[in-house]
Amino acid sequence: MESNIVWHQASVNKKDSRDKNGHHSGVIWLTGLSGSGKSSSANRVNQKLFERGIQSYILDGDNIRHGLNTDLGFKPEDRKENIRRIGEVAKLFADSGTIVLTAFISPYQEDRARVRDMFVKGDFLEVHVECPLSECENRDPKGLYQKARTGEIKGFTGIDSPYEAPESPELVLQTNAFSVDECAEQLISFLEKKSWL
């Protein structure tokens, strides 16, 4: 890191923002295969938090690649950098008193662990959006699995690139067994138990 760069201490800190908002802040990191329901779950939870007056924001994989990470591809090193950048952005949001919902495949355990290490204990919640590969392929909302199966897309997670499921996530949402609304309620209930809300 450049030695002439010094962190500027803000006059309003994370505790100030949390006190003003009346709720905890941190990141809820939703990870899972493409088509597992990460974005759908994040959006439903975000809507429910908004209705309760909670300050929250979604960082979604596709949306981020339209702007901040438009220069990155899908090679392992690009995926690693993608997740690093998202972690840094999520941390800034959390420091502002916001509950951040992220929806990223984030296939590698090491990368997710690195993001967790950016946060103080209790400010990072890993949520495995669990859904069998066969069901994700049946849903195939973007037609990506079909392209991967025909060789149009190379290095697709779950087909010819690995997905390392979380070993001990804070929460598992089984989107093949529960509806989007039910999964959202499970996550909201979990946040209440954790005294985030």
Which tens digit of pLDDT belongs to each residue from 150-180? 999 998 999 999 999 999 999 999 999 999 9
Residue-level pLDDT at 70: 87
How many angstroms separate the CA atoms of 9 and 12, rounded? 9
Mean pLDDT of 38-43: 96
Binding residues: 32-39
Residue-level pLDDT at 11: 79
Domains of the chain: 19-193 (3.40.50.300)
pLDDT > 70 fraction of the chain, expressed in percent and rounded: 97
For residue range 72-130, what is the model confidence (pLDDT) as tens digits? 888 889 889 999 999 999 999 999 999 999 999 999 999 999 999 999 999 999 999 99
Binding residues for ATP: 32-39
User: Rounded to 5 degrees, what angle do the CA atoms 138, 140, 142 make?
Assistant: 165
For residue range 107-121, what is the model confidence (pLDDT) as tens digits? 999 999 999 999 999
- pLDDT at residue 140 greater than cutoff 80: yes
CB 127 within 8 A of CB 172: yes
Active-site residue set: 106
